[in-house]
Amino acid sequence: MPPARTLTSTVSLVFSSQLRARQIYRHPAFRFRMASSSAFGLKEASLVRSQGFIDGKWVDAKDGGVIKVTNPATTEELGTVPEMGLAETKEAIDAAAKAFKTWSKTTANQRHDILIKLYALMKEHSDDLARMITLENGKPLAEAMGEHLYSASFIEWFAEEAVRTYGEQIPSPFPGVRNIVIKQPVGVVSILTPWNFPSAMITRKLGAALAAGCTAVIKPPPETPFSALALAELATRAGVPPGVINIVTTQSNVRDVGREMCESPIVQKVSFTGSTPVAKMLAQMAAGTLKKVSIEAGGNAPFIVFDDADIDAAVEGVIVCKFRGTGQTCVCANRIFVQSSVYAEFASRLAERVAAFKVGNGLDKETTHGPLIHDRAVDKVEAHVEDALANGAQVLLGGKRIPGAGSFFAPTVLSDVPADALVNREETFGPLAALTRFETEEEVVAMANNTAVGLAGYFFSRDVGRVWRVAEALEVGMVGANTGVISQAVIPFGGVKESGLGREGGHGISEYMNEKLIAFGGL
């Protein structure tokens, strides 16, 4: 245990942090008005599309149904998109199948050139596309711009990967035979994405699919459909032919649409990012026709701070890892384990940093953290806080929902959270940093691995031997050692255990291609 005066200074800091944190509730970002909901206040209003996209045409739902899309910071309506269903989904799949016949025959250079044009258009309209992300998702403009650039980087990366899809020759044990392996696109691809990264979760999949020569049907989330539709608009301008990209928007009919996208015998691959329960359901549907499946499902990322860590660096690592997207990222630090000898120091420094956050409308330049996506997300964070407190945890900062318009929860730091608290067993997806104490390396590795999922994990240590031991021991698909940021277009992104199948980014184009052997005899 740390000496008494350290604990006393920690308590004093916590109280002062709570006083400063009260300014969060009075921040002027909570006094705002929505700007130009009809055109999102964009420089180019034509990027706002309110129809689905099938076979190169902007279309409404056959029954005229619509989905209302709201700004999570204000609850004001941004606009509507079609409430499409099974009939529109089948049309989109048929259009993709027809387009595949010609798109799959284009050369890698041709696909490269079109994707590079799309990348250039995305960069040209950066301000508008970032603003669109903020309006429908809620994240601050600076963070939305970061997502947009991340999104564009996938298009650039896979444009280059298109011309690196090499085959190979394998020596044959038989005389007069040559074994040639070529790579071919799998066919029509179903893409289902979440709302936390409205643009990047699409391009990470779509970029690879288009580069490989596949065609796609995309189902964006009903909370954030406009970013997807804007990408389709720019792809058309870049020269992507009709039917290569199709977008079906739905909310009430999501079960029927999702089932068709997974079970249709025309579809040859399904790529999904979302929760583990939904991932299991979609994988079962796709199994009926033995489709290729790529899944990035839920996480419960451990973040470990060892006693030999650079504490300042570890605090900054938690800030970017835990609170990016207001805690709504699949690779967020969810369980924060701190070694006892540095626990008080780390907790006080983290509380002080979080107290400086400015919560509000993402369009306000002073805002550092925006709303959660909807009130159900707020309810989940609140439930995790209440469970932790009931089991002995203490509030260092925050701990309450923020009243008024919008789905806001105060950035929260809890101390003395037991290892079996709900927040340590479930992915919170919100601005809650829950600190749990540990004593030894062996103990914390066991705690970190005590979960059914394994997407990402993080730790801070200056012991080189420990870095390698822990990095190899963590049961996750990605490890951040002395960094809280791992997401890049160039890396293999994905998890182990119930966090998913396959890898995206990096060499993920291979997930959208089949290897074919051609054995030449009689030579």
The pLDDT value given to residue 249: 98
Write the pLDDT tens digit of every residue in 376-391. 999 999 999 999 999 9
The whole-number average pLDDT for the span 312-329 is 98
Domain shared by 225 and 131, yes or no: yes
Same domain, yes or no: 70 and 144: yes
Question: Residue 278: inside a domain, yes or no?
Answer: yes
Q: What is the pLDDT, as a whole number, of residue 519? A: 97
21 domain residue, yes or no: no
Residue 211 lies in a domain: yes
Please state the separation of Cα 147 from the chain's center in Å: 10
Q: How far apart (Å, rounded) are the C-alpha atoms in residues 170 and 84?
A: 48
For residue 239, pLDDT over 70 is answered with yes
According to the model, what pLDDT value does residue 270 have?
A: 98
State the pLDDT at residue 20: 37
In a domain, 281, yes or no: yes
Please tell me the distance from the alpha carbon of residue 57 to that of residue 238, in angstroms, as a whole number: 15
Q: What percent of the chain has pLDDT over 70?
A: 93
Q: What is the pLDDT of residues 141-157, one digit of tens each?
A: 999 999 999 999 999 99
What is the predicted pLDDT for the residue at 314?
98
User: Residue 476: enclosing H or E segment and its boundaries?
Assistant: none
Q: What percent of the chain has pLDDT over 90?
A: 92
| pLDDT value for 26 | 33
Of residues 247, 215, 246, the one with CA closest to residue 111:
215
Active site residues: 296, 330
The whole-angstrom separation of Cα 368 and Cα 143 is 9
Residue 10 has pLDDT above 50, yes or no: no
The span from the CA of 211 to the CA of 475, in Å, is 31
My answer on whether 376 and 413 are in the same domain is: yes
Task: Give yes or no: residues 303 and 394 share one domain.
Answer: yes
Is 469 a member of any domain? yes
Q: What is the pLDDT of residue 449?
A: 98
Tell me which of 33-42, 93-102, 278-287, 468-477 is least confident. 33-42
Kindly compute the dihedral angle of the four CA atoms of residues 153, 159, 161, 163, in this order, to the nearest 10 degrees: -160
Residue 11 pLDDT: 34
Mark whether 261 and 336 lie in a shared domain: no
In angstroms, what CA-CA distances link 153 with 48, 199, 202, 434, 488? 22, 11, 12, 33, 8
R_g of the chain computed on alpha carbons: 24
If one compares 10 and 61, the residue with the highest pLDDT of the two is: 61
One domain for residues 378 and 270: no
| The pLDDT value given to residue 327 | 98
Residue 166 host element (H or E): none
Say whether pLDDT at 117 is over 80. Answer: yes
Phi, psi (rounded to 5 degrees) for 211: -60, -35
The answer to whether residue 11 is domain-embedded is: no
CA distances to 98, 254, 375 from 81, rounded to whole Å, are 25, 14, 21
CATH number for 129: 3.40.605.10
**Does residue 30 lie in a domain region?**
no
> Residue 18 pLDDT > 70, yes or no?
no
517, with CB counted inside 10 A (0-12, 13-18, 19+), is exposed
Residues with Cβ < 8 Å from 216, sequence gap 6 or more? 96, 188, 189, 190, 191, 205, 206, 209, 210, 244, 245, 246
DSSP 8-state symbol, 140: -
Domain shared by 320 and 293, yes or no:
no
Residue 38's pLDDT band (boundaries 50, 70, 90)? Answer: low
Surface-to-core class of residue 176, CB atoms within 10 Å of its CB (0-12 exposed, 13-18 middle, 19+ buried)? exposed
Element of type H or E holding 83: none
pLDDT, averaged across the chain: 93
Buried/exposed code over 405-432 (b: 16+ C-beta within 10 A; e: otherwise): bbbbbbbbbbbbbbeebbbbbbbbbbbb
pLDDT greater than 70 at residue 169: yes
The pLDDT tens digits for 220-233 are: 999 999 999 999 99
Same domain, 303 and 380: yes
Is residue 3 included in any domain, yes or no? no
Residue 25, pLDDT above cutoff 70: no
The neighbour count for residue 391, using CB atoms within 10 Å, is 14
> How does residue 9 score in pLDDT terms, banded at 50, 70 and 90?
very low
Pair 133, 257 in one domain: yes
pLDDT band of 39, cuts 50, 70, 90: low
Contact 272, 192 (CB under 8 A): yes
Q: How confident is the model at residue 3 (pLDDT cuts 50, 70, 90)?
A: very low
- Domain enclosing residue 120, as ranges: 54-297+499-518
pLDDT beyond 60 at 37: no
Cα–Cα dist 174/6, whole Å: 76
pLDDT the model gives residue 505:
97
pLDDT at position 34 over 50? no
Are residues 248 and 354 located together in one domain of the fold?
no
pTM of this structure:
0.92
- Confidence label for 2 from pLDDT (cuts 50, 70 and 90): very low
Q: How confident is the model at residue 279 (pLDDT cuts 50, 70, 90)?
A: very high
Which CATH number belongs to the domain containing residue 393 in this structure?
A: 3.40.309.10
The reply to whether 342 and 444 lie within a common domain is yes
Look at the block and give the residue holding tokens 């284009």: 106
Q: How many domains does the chain have?
A: 2
Same-domain check for residues 275 and 303: no
The token pair at 510 is: 């291979």
